[in-house]
Amino acid sequence: MAAEALPSQFDVVILGTGLTESVIAAACSRVGQNVLHLDRRNYYAGNWASFTFNGLLSWIEEYKNQQEVQITESEQVWRSLIDEGEDVVPLSSVDSSISNLEVFCYASEEEEKEEETKAPLTSCQPVNAETVSEETTGDPTEAQDTVTGDDTTASDAKTQNEEHKVSEPKEEQHTSDISEPSQSQEEKDSQLISSPEDRPVDVEKKITYQKLVKEGRRFNIDLVSKLMYSRGALVDLLIKSNVSRYAEFKNIGRILTCRNGKVEQVPCSRADVFASKQLTVVEKRMLMKFLTFCLDFEQHPEEYQDYTEKPFREFLKNKKLTENLQDFVLHSIGMVTQQTLTAEGLKATQHFLRCLGRYGNTPFLFPLYGLGEIPQCFCRMCAVFGGIYCLRHSVQCLVVDKASNNLFLKFFIFFILILFLHLHRQISRAVLITDRSVLPSESDQQISLVTIPPLESSAPAVRMVELCSSSMTCMPGTYLVHLTCSSYGTAQEDLAPVVSELFHVSTILGEEPSESAEERSKPAVLWVMYFNMRDTSALDSSSYSLPSNVHVCTGPDGSLGSDCSIKLAESVFRHILPDEEFCPPAPNPEDIIYDGDGPQAEGPGFDESANTEADKSQAEEEGAAHEKSPSTESSDPAEMDSVTQSTPSHTTPSSEE
Amino acid sequence: MHGRVKIKSTAQQEEEKRKEREKKLKAYVSARDAVLKKRGAGEHDEEALQLTQQLLSSNPDFATLWNYRREVLLHLETLREKDEVQKLYESELHFIEACLKVNPKSYGCWHHRSWVNTRLPQPDWTRELGLCDRCLSLDERNFHCWDYRRVVVKESGVSVEQELQFTDRLIGSNFSNYSSWHYRSTLLPQLHPQPVPDSAPNTSPSPTTSPQFHSHRVCEEQLLKEYELAHNAFFTDPNDQSAWFYYRWLLGRAEREEMISCVYVSREGERVSVAFSKPVHAQSEGLMLVVDGQPQQVHWRSAHPRFRHSAVWLCDLPPGSISDISNEHNLTIHWTEKHTHRDCALYTGSAESWCRDSATDQELFRSELSVEKSSVLQAELQSCNQLLELEPQNKWCLLTIILLMRALDPLGHEKETLAHFQSLKEVDPMRSSYYSDLCSKFLIENTILKMEYAEVRVFSLSNKNLTTLCHLDQLLFVTHINLSSNQLLRLPPQFAMLQCLEVLEADDNAIESLEGLYHLPKLEEVSLRNNRILFSKKSKCFYKKPLFWCQSQCLIWPCFKDSVFSINKQIQTYSSAKFCYSPLF
C-alpha cells in the first residue's frame, strides 16, 4: 500500500513492540482507538524478540557494530519542521539495554566430509531417523540438505533415501498406536523418540557449526527467558482477550533442581510427590502437608504470624521440613531467596501451587516458537482491529505544545529505554545450544525448568529453562538452554560457573566434545552466548517530568512470569481510557457484521474486520462519546511530524511464517 | 467511532442461535422419520447408513439407530467381498470415533464398537488399544472406556506385564483412581502368584487362564513392593481413599472355608443343632443326620423361621429315640454337597453333648486380614503408626491400625483399639454408628475368645457400649448372657441361635424389639428393666402388646420350660397380664 493512503491522524502512538506496548496497542485498538505502532528495529517484540539462529547472528553483528559506531544524526531535518509555540523533547535512538555480549562456539567448525563407510551406521540412528522423517513430511524441498553430519551421516541423496526407508516403517509402527490421524508432527516425533528401544545408546551424532547455521531457521532463540504461570496475569489475559487463538503452547514437563552437582526432579505436584524416589514417606507427608497449608495459608494466620517478619527459611525450619524439603520449597517452588520474608515466600509458594494442574503437572506453559510470539500475537490483535504497524521507524523527538506542555496527540506511549539510560539493575543471560538433556528421561521431548541454588553464598540463584525441539525453538537433536539470574557481575562471570557445573564445555573452541565416559555424562555445549540486559522494571515514571499524555513502559524484568508487564499495560490503559474495558474478548468471526463499504477512509488495506459498519445503536452511543471528547478535537492538528515519513513497511504480525 | 468492529448484540446472537436450533431440529426430525420408515420397510441399503450416520453424529445415544445400522451392515456383509467388508467396517470405526467425540460416555457407541470389532475380518487391536489410551488420558475414570479396554486386552492378548505397566503409568499420573488400583489387584495374582503349599487342600477347580479363578494372593516379595506403593500414596495424600482400599486388599481378606463348625445334641429336647461357618440353606445343601448308623428322616429348620439361610439349623428327633439316659448314641451329620461330615457322641448319663471347633483354635476373628506373616503385619502397623503421628485425625489410618491390631493380637491391643475407636467417632461423626457397630463386633469377638480360654458357658458383655450383636452362632452353648448397660436397640432374630440360653439380662439398654426372644427352648428368666419396648395396637407381636412391660421396669418370666411354640400360643390366647409376674400386679 502506498504511504499516502495511510491516515495521518492517530489517537494513540506507541513506540516499541515489547510485550507491554503490544498489549496496550491491542487493548486500545480493540476499543476503537486509532493506533500507530512503531518500532525502531526491523523485527517485532524488542527485547522480547525471538530469533532464528541466523537472525541471532545478525543481531549479534548489529550489536557489535553499534558498539563501534556512535550514531550521530543531524537534527536539522526535523528541527525545521517545528513551529512556533511548539517545544521538543528529543529522544535517544541508541539502545544500550544489551551489554557484555560474548559468544563462544564449541561445535566443530570443520567442513562436512562425505564418509560413505559410516553411512550404514545411520540406519540404526534414531536422531537421524527422526530428522529425516520430519523433513520429508514437513518440507520436501529442504530434505535434500538436512541430513548432514561430519562422521556418522552422509550428505548424498542415496544414503538419505536408504535412511528414509529404514525410518519409515518405524514411524508407521509408532503412529499406528495413535488413533487420531491428524496428530501433529511434533507429537509423532515425541512418540518416535520416546520409545525406549530406539534411544541412542552409544552412537552419538556430531552437530557441526555448519549444521546449526544450515538448520538455523529451526531455532527460535528468546532474548528473555520466561515461562507463563498457568494462572498468571498473562495467561488470564490471553484467554480473556481471545488472543490465545493466535498461539500454541506446550506444558513444562518437569521442574528440576541441582543439588550437590546432581540434577534431580523437584516433587511439586501430588503425582510427583507420590512418584518421588528421593523422599521418604514421612518427608512426602511433611511436604504435602506444608504445601496444602500454603494453598490457603491466609486461613491459618496462627501458623505463620510469628514469622511474617522473619526469613521464609526459618519458617520452613520451624515447620520441621528436612533440609531437602527446605531447599525444594525455597528454591524451586517458592523460587525466592534466603533473605525473603515469610509472608512473601508463602505468597510465592501459593501462586506456584495455584497454577498447578490447570494445564498439567507443572504450573507453567511455554509458547511454541518462543516467547517472542506473545507480543506479536497482541500486535496481530491490534492490527485486526485497525492498528497500523511501522517497523524500522523511530521517533526522534516529541513535539510538545508549549502552552499546555502536552503532546499534540491524545496519547503517546513508549518503551523506556529510548529515553532513560541510567538504570543500573541488570539481568545476566546465557543462551546455550546443547546436545542432550541435563536429566535424560523416558521422554526427551520435555521442557524443563531447572532452579539452581547459589553455588556459593555470594552468587545469585540461577534459573535455567531447557527447551526441547518439539517446543519449536531448536533443531531436532539439540536442546536450547536459557540461563537467567539477576546480575552481580557480567553475564559470563555470573553464569559461566553454572554452565561448567552442569555442562561439558570443551577447553578449546571448536574442539569436538571429548569422548571420555565421565565427561559425556554431562551434555556438551555446542554454542553459547552471554549478555546482560537492563532490567527497567523498577522504574517509577512519575519521577520524570513528562507531558501528562505521555506514558512510559518498562522492559522485561528478571522474574519468571510476565505479570509485571501485563499489570503495567493494564494500568497505562486504565489511565488513558478509564471508561473502557481492558481487552474484552475478541468476537468470533461469525459475530462480526460485515458491510460492503467501509465507513472510514482508512478502510482499504486493513484487515477485513476494519471494513465493517456500525451496529446502529452502538454507533450512536459511541458517536456521542466521540463528540464529547475534547481531546479528540485537540489532537486534530497533530500531523505525523514526530514520525519520519520514509516508506513505511507495515506488516501484520503472524505467529508462523 | 473509528475502526471499532461492530459485533452482533446478544439478542441478535440469541435469535440466530434459536433459528439455527429450529432448523437443526427440523432436519433431525425429518431424518429420524425417514430412517424409522425405512427400517419399517425393511430396507438395508447405503442410504440407510448415511441417514443414520447423520442422526447419530449429532445424537450418538439413539440406540434404535445403532441397531438398525447393525442390521444394515450384516446385510451388506453378505453382498460384498472380504476386503470390501474390511473397508466397510473400518469406516464404521472412524465414524464411531467421531461419535465418541460428541459423547465419550455413550453406551451405544462403545457397544457398537465392540460389535464392529467382532465382525471385522482383520481387527486392528493395537489401534483400539491406542484409542483407549487416548480416551483415558482425557478422562481416566471413563468406565465405558475401561470396559471396552478389557475386551480389547483380552482379544489382543496384551501381556500381563504390559498391563501392569499400564496401571503403573495411570497411577503415576494420578493415583486417585479406583479403576487402576483394582485392575492391579486382578493382575498381580496372575503375574506373581503366591506359591501354593503342597499340603494345602485343593478345593478350587483346576486353574484356568481367567484371573477370577486364580488364587487372589500375591507372593511376598511383590507384596512388599505393593505395600511400599500404597505407603507412598497414603503418605502423600492420606485422605484419598482409593489407596487405602487397595491397601486393605493387599492386607487380604480371608474367606472362611465352608464347614460344619459345631454339632449339639440335647437329650431332653430330643433335638440336634448344627452350626456352620457361614449361613447356608440346609434344605438344599443335602444335610443328612445318621443316628447310630441309621439315617433319620428329619425336618431341618433354621434357627428363626425368617431365615432361609442360617448359620444354625435344627431338627427334632422322633420322640423317644434318644431320651433314655442310659443309652449311648453316635450321631453323624453328613453334608453331601460339600463332601464333609461331623460326628458327635452322646454318652451314657449325659443330658447333652457337642462337638465343635473353638474360636481360639481357628484364630477365627483374626481372619479379616489374611496375611499370614505377623512380621509383615507388624511392620505395616509401624508404618501406619508413623503416619498417625503426623496425621492424628486421619480416619483411614486409624481404621487400618485397628484392623492390623486385630490381626496381630486382638486381646493384647484391646485397650488401644478402644481408644482409636473413640478418636474415629470424634473425627468422623457421620459414621460414628458404623464405628460403634464395628467396635461392638470386636468386643464380642474378644469376649468369645476370653470365654473360651476360660471354658465357661456364661457370657457377660455388660457395660461395653454395644450397639449391635453378632457372632451369635458362636454362642450355641451359652446358658447365661448378660447384656446389661449397653446401647442395644433390639434383640435380633439371630438371638434364636442361643439354643441353650436359660437366663437373659438386658437391663438398661434401648431395646425396642424383641424378635430374637422367640424360639428359645430353655429360656427361664428375662430381665429387661429400663428399655424402650414399643407398644403398638396394630402389631400382633406378643411382646409389643403389653405396655406395662416397659412401665413396670421389670419383667420376669418364670419357668418357661415348654417349647417356644407353646409360649407363643399361650400369649396369643391369654391376656399377657395374667401371664407375667410383675411387682405391680
Written out in words, the top-level CATH class of the domain with range B451-535+545-556 is: alpha beta
| DSSP summary character for residue A71 | P
A320 Ramachandran zone, left/alpha/beta (phi>0; psi -120 to 50)? left
Q: Would you list the domain boundaries of chain B?
A: 28-188, 220-254+364-437, 260-356, 451-535+545-556
* Residue A624 sits at the chain B interface (C-beta within 8 Å): no
**Rounded-to-integer distance, Cα A624 and Cα A620, Å:** 6
CA distance A348 to A229: 12
Q: What is the pLDDT of residue A654?
A: 41
- Chain A residues closer than 8 Å to B233 by CB: 274
| B10 lies within 8 A of chain A by CB | no
Mean pLDDT over residues B455-471, rounded?
87
List the single residue in A289, A610, A622 with the smallest CB-CB distance to B1: A622
- B208 touches A: beta carbon within 8 Å: no
Count of CB atoms situated within 10 Å of the CB of A68: 6
Q: Do A179 and B1 touch (CB under 8 A)?
A: no
A91 interface with B at CB cutoff 8 Å: no
**Partner B, chain A 393-422, Cβ-Cβ below 8 Å:** none
Show the 3-state SS of A421-470: CCCCCEEEEEEEEECCCCCCCCCCCCEEEEEECCCCCCCCCEEEEEECHH
Instruction: Tell me the residue type at A95.
Output: D
Q: Where are the beta strands (DSSP E) in B360-490?
A: 458-460, 480-482
Q: Which residues of A83-118 are buried (b: 16+ CB within 10 A; e: fewer)?
A: eeeeebbebeeebebbebbeebbbbbeeebeebeeb
Dist. CA A464–CA A448, nearest whole Å? 8
Of B7, B130, B390, the CB nearest to A177: B130
CB burial readout B44-83, b (16+ within 10 A) else e: beeebbebbbbbbeeebebeebbebbbebbeebeeeeeee
For chains A and B, CB pairs below 8 A equal 118
Contact call for B391 and A285, based on CB within 8 A: yes
CB spacing of B236 vs A587 below 8 angstroms? no
What's residue A147's pLDDT?
A: 35
Asked if B3 and A271 come within 8 Å (Cβ–Cβ), the reply is no
Catalogue the E-assigned strands of B402-484.
458-460, 480-482
Helix (H) or strand (E) holding A527: strand A525-534
C-alpha cell at B535: 407398644
Tens of pLDDT along B482-498? 999 999 988 888 888 88
User: DSSP secondary-structure letter at B339?
Assistant: T
Number of C-beta neighbours around residue B411 at 10 A: 13
**pLDDT at B127 > cutoff 50:** yes
Calpha distance A365→A494 (Å, rounded): 27
Q: How confident is the model at residue B269 (pLDDT cuts 50, 70, 90)?
A: confident
Q: In what order do the strands lie in the sheet with B260-266?
A: B301-302, B310-316, B271-280, B260-266, B352-356
Structure confidence at residue B83 as a pLDDT band (50, 70, 90):
confident
Average pLDDT score over chain B: 80
The length of chain A in residues reads 657
pLDDT for res A142: 39
Is B451-535+545-556 in the same CATH topology as B220-254+364-437? no
User: By CA distance, what is A619's nearest residue in B?
Assistant: B1
pLDDT given at position A225: 94
A12 touches chain B (CB under 8 A): no
Residue B167, classed as helix, strand or coil, is: helix
Q: How far apart are CA A289 and CA B310, in angstroms?
A: 49
HEC string for A583-649: CCCCCCHHHECECCCCCCCCCCCCCHHHCECCCHHHHHHHHHHHHHCHHHHHCCCCCHHHCCCCCCE
Residues B410-429 have a mean pLDDT of 92
Q: Is B176 helix (H, G, I), strand (E, B) or coil?
A: coil
Nearest CA in chain A to B132: A179
CB contact under 8 A, A275 and B391: no
Q: Considering only alpha carbons, which residue of chain A is nearest residue B96?
A: A179
Q: What is the pLDDT of residue A167?
A: 37
Specify the CATH number of the domain B220-254+364-437: 1.25.40
Report pLDDT for B294: 84
Which residues of chain A are modeled with pLDDT < 70?
Answer: 1-5, 68-79, 92-94, 110-205, 405-424, 508-520, 540-544, 594-657
Q: Between these two residues, B199 and A305, which has the higher pLDDT value?
A: A305
User: Which residues in chain A (549-608) have CB-CB distances under 8 A to chain B?
Assistant: 587, 591-593, 600, 602, 606
Task: Say what the pLDDT of residue A128 is.
Answer: 38
Instruction: Return the SS3 of A523.
Output: coil
Residue B307 DSSP code: -
- Rounded to an integer, what distance in angstroms lies between the CA atom of residue A379 and that of residue A588? 18
What is the DSSP annotation of B237-264?
-TT-HHHHHHHHHHH--PPPPP-EEEEE
Calculate the dihedral angle through the C-alpha atoms of B248, B251, B257, B262, rounding to the nearest 10 degrees: -90
Contact list in B for residue A31 (CB cut-off 8 A) is 4
Which chain A residue has its CA at the smallest distance from B238's CA?
A285
Name beta bridge partners: A306. Answer: none
Contact in structure between A499 and A454 (CB atoms under 8 Å): no
Confidence of residue B352 (pLDDT cuts 50, 70, 90): confident
Q: Which amino acid is at B96?
A: I
CB contact under 8 A, B2 and A602: yes
Residues B415 and B439: their CA atoms lie apart, in Å, by 12
- Report whether pLDDT(B411) > 80: yes
pLDDT digits (tens, 9 = 90+) for A436-454: 999 988 888 999 999 998 8
Q: What is the structure's pLDDT at B476?
A: 84
Amino acid of residue A173: Q
- For residue B235, give the chain A residue with the closest CA: A285
Indicate the range of A295-304, A585-594, B127-136, B167-176 predicted with least confidence.
Answer: A585-594
Q: Is the pLDDT of residue B511 over 70?
A: yes
Nearest to A214 by CA among A300, A160, A147: A147
- Do residues A114 and A154 touch, judged by C-beta distance below 8 A? yes
Q: Do A176 and B97 touch (CB under 8 A)?
A: no
Q: How crowded is the C-beta side of A601, counted as CA atoms within 13 Å?
A: 7
On whether any CB of chain A is under 8 Å from the CB of B173, the answer is: yes
Three-state DSSP class for residue B503:
strand
Does the distance separating the beta carbons of A626 and B387 come in below 8 Å?
no
Per the CB < 8 Å rule, is B131 touching A602?
no
Question: In percent, how much of chain A has pLDDT > 90?
Answer: 35
Q: What per-residue confidence (pLDDT) applies to A617?
A: 39
Flag whether residue A271 sits within 8 Å of chain B, measured between CB atoms: yes
- Min CA distance, B172 vs chain A (Å)? 6
Q: Model confidence at B453, in pLDDT bands (50, 70, 90)?
A: confident
- Rounded CA separation A638/A172 (Å): 63
pLDDT of residue A508: 61
Residues in contact with B67: Cβ distance below 8 Å, sequence separation at least 6, in sequence order:
none
User: Which of A289-293, B59-63, B324-328, B384-388 bottoms out in mean pLDDT, i.e. has the lowest?
Assistant: B324-328
Residue of B nearest to A275 (CA): B172
Selected residues 238-277 of chain B with any CB under 8 Å from a CB in chain A: 238
Work out the minimum CA distance from B98 to partner chain A, whole angstroms: 10
Q: Distance between the two ends of chain A, CA-based, in angstroms? A: 20
A-interface mutation test, from B10, B90, B137, B236, most A Cβ less than 10 A away: B236
A265 touches chain B (CB under 8 A): no
Looking at residue B130, its amino acid is G
For residue A606, list chain B residues with Cβ-Cβ distance below 8 A: 3
> Nearest-CA neighbor of A365 among A442, A431, A447?
A447
Of B7, B133, B233, the CB nearest to A587: B7
Helix (H, G, I), strand (E, B) or coil at A322: coil
Q: Which has the higher per-residue pLDDT, B336 or A224?
A: A224
Contact status of B459 with chain A (Cβ, < 8 Å):
no
Contact A284 B236 (CB under 8 A): yes
* pTM of the full structure: 0.73
Chain-centre distance of CA A633, in angstroms?
39
> What's the DSSP call for residue B41?
T
Query: What letter would DSSP give residue A329?
Result: I
Three-state secondary structure readout of B82-95 = HHHHHHHHHHHHHH
Place of cell 448372657: B481
Cβ pair A467, A433 in contact under 8 A: no
Please name the helix (run of DSSP H) or strand (run of DSSP E) that holds residue A346, with its range, or none: helix A342-355
The alpha carbon of residue B266 and the mean position of all alpha carbons in its chain are separated, in whole angstroms, by 35
From chain A, pick out residues whose CB is under 8 angstroms from the CB of B238. Answer: 285
pLDDT of residue A651: 39
* Cross-chain CB nearest to B3 (options A271, A592, A600): A600
Element (H, E) at B131: helix B125-138
Out of 2.170.120.12, 1.20.120.1200, 1.25.40.120, 1.10.3720.10, which CATH number does the structure's domain B28-188 have?
1.25.40.120
DSSP B49-110: HHHHHHHHHH-TT-HHHHHHHHHHHHHHHHHS-HHHHHHHHHHHHHHHHHHHHH-TT-HHHH
Nearest residue of B to residue A35, measured between CA atoms: B3
Cα–Cα distance for residue pair A629/A383, rounded to 1 Å: 24
DSSP A368-437: TT-TTHHHHHHHHHHHHTT-EEEBS----EEEEETTTTEESSSEEEEEGGGT------EEEEEEEEESS-
Contact (CB, 8 A) for A481 and A434: yes
What pLDDT, on a 0 to 100 scale, did the predictor assign at position A525?
Answer: 92
What's the CATH number for B260-356? 2.60.40.1130
